[in-house]
Amino acid sequence: MKPKETAEHYILSSSPHTHSNASVRRIMLDVIVALLPTTAAGVYFFGMPAVWTIATCVATCIVTEALCRLAMKRESTIGDLSAVVTGLLLALNLPAGIPLWMAVAGSVFAIGICKQVFGGLGMNPFNPALAARAFMLISFTGPMTTWLKPFWWRTPEAMTTATPLASMKTLFAAETTASASPHGLCSAATGGLPAIWDMAVGNIPGCIGEVSAIAIAIGAAYLLWRKVITWHIPAAFLMTVFVYSLVAGGAPAMAQVLTGGVMIGACFMATDYVTSPITARGKLVFGFGCGLICMLIRQFGGYPEGCSFAILIMNSVCPLINRWTQPKPFGARK
């Protein structure tokens, strides 16, 4: 017997018609879990200053989001955990010894200006944590470029030090001026840098969450396994940095990949759903652009690091990348 047809059989809707079990809260929770290894590494190397910076950023982001939603008379979005992720990412991109009031200012800027002003999650054109970091770097240059030495509490007389990126830039600038021979260039370039193992583990000065490449790689592997991110942006980003370093010479290629914000930027910041392309080809273009601009800033810019600015610049052209790489519908004419 033919079943009786009802109005529900004729409901029309736009795509997508098939939905997964993914939700904003589940995705954000996965990102938090993936960030736990690098968070633990940062706390291990920099101690309680890292703990206070992380707690301050996360708490301020949550409070700011609640107040902004209340002021705009909109539904609270604290439960989706996006504010927690923003606060955690911002803290991991800050020096451990930064004054806490500056961390509060950066967190308010990340949520209030970079996210809620545009309408909330999904509307922001730039990654809130990176935009806040750029704001803080411009506003508080001194504290933002003052780094605690790992295990600084054991050697208080050498509490602050230069990062490997700053050392590389200083060394290579001196080498260029002196016009050293190729053999002297190699020895000078590597003499002032930590061992590759120290760079991989995290026993180097830097931001809380950028020092341990191994911890970041573990978190990225978790996100790939959970299918929260794809391989396109991280692979294109990291390969561009590596190949550029080989071609340009000077700094060791592995040192360029393992130091600074390249690893955490490629795996956690550039892969942000809202501010990165949606197509596979677009993601490859996006990752390549991030890596190229990052290396150009590192080599020719006045600041040793260029990862944050590179990602923000590529965020601005993300709509164009989506348009250029949009697949043609089946049967459509060019």
* Residue appearing with tokens 């009802």: 6
Domain positions in the chain: 24-144, 161-324
| Helix residue ranges, H only, 72-181 | 82-92, 100-108, 128-139, 141-144, 164-178
**Phi, psi for 148 (deg, rounded to 5):** -75, 140
* pLDDT for the residue 189: 42
Distance CA 83, CA 79 (A): 9
* pLDDT for the residue 182: 43
* pLDDT for the residue 184: 37
Q: What is the pTM of this model?
A: 0.85
- Two tokens, residue 334: 């060019």
pLDDT, averaged in runs of 10, over the chain (334 residues): 57 59 86 96 94 97 94 87 94 93 96 90 90 94 87 65 63 50 40 77 88 94 95 96 87 85 93 91 95 90 84 94 82 62
Query: How many Cβ atoms from other residues are within 10 Å of residue 334's Cβ?
Result: 3
* pLDDT for the residue 196: 83
CB contact at 8 A, 189 and 247: no
